[in-house]
Amino acid sequence: MPTVHFTDADGTVREIDGNVGDSVMETAVRNGVPGIVAECGGSLSCATCHVFVREDCFEQLPPMSDMEDEMLYGTAIDRQDNSRLSCQLKLDGDDVFVTTPSTQV
């Protein structure tokens, strides 16, 4: 079972067990992890599931679509090089380390 390690903007870490095939967003929302709003429920329409991904996790994640890339320009906290929308990050077997921005809206 992969674990998703969420660090919030204040540095608090939450470790949540996720299921293979679920997204990082789903794992967060189902367990009430603050810092992920995900209004559109993973439909790639809201950009309120923004996360910063730890560099060494990049390779295991699915590549970014053009639509995700465009949506990332509308996040509440400006995107950085390691920004992703967590609804697009499906868990394979490995742990994922992400940081949530200070606000999503």
Partner 1 sequence: MSTAETLQPTPQPMTGTRAATRTGLLIIGASQAGVQLAVSLRALGFDEHITLLGDEDHRPYQRPALSKEFLQGTIESESLIFRSADYWVEHNISVVKGERIVRVDKDADGSGVAHAASGASFPFSRLALTVGARARRMEVEGADLDRVLYLRNADDALELKARIGEAQDVVLIGGGFIGLEAASSLQKLGKNVTLLELGPRLVGRAVGEETAEYFLQAHRARGLDIRLNTNVSRFAADDSGRAVAGVELSDGTVLPAQIVLIGIGVIPNTDLAEQLGLEVGNGIVVDRYSIASDGTTVAVGDCANMPNPVPGSAPGERIRLESVNNAVEQAKVAAYSLTGRREEYAGIPWFWSNQADLKLQIAGLCTGHDQTVIRRDDERGKFSVLYYRGGQIIAADCVNAPLDFMAVKNALASGRNIPAAAAADPATALKTITTDSPTANQPPEGA
The kind and range of the H/E element at 91 are: none
Structure tokens at 100: 């949530």
Of residues 49-88, those binding partner 1 (CB under 8 A): 67, 70-71, 73-74
The C-alpha atoms of residue 22 and residue 89 are separated, in whole angstroms, by 8
The C-alpha atoms of residue 7 and residue 4 are separated, in whole angstroms, by 10
The C-alpha atoms of residue 60 and residue 40 are separated, in whole angstroms, by 25
Of residues 37-96, those binding ligand FES (CB under 6 A): 38-40, 42-49, 85, 87
Task: Point out which span in 1-9, 31-39, 53-61, 92-100 binds partner 1 (CB under 8 A).
Answer: 31-39
The site for partner 1 (CB under 8 A) is made up of: 22, 26, 29-32, 34, 39-47, 67, 70-71, 73-74, 105
The site for ligand FES (CB under 6 A) is made up of: 25, 38-40, 42-49, 85, 87
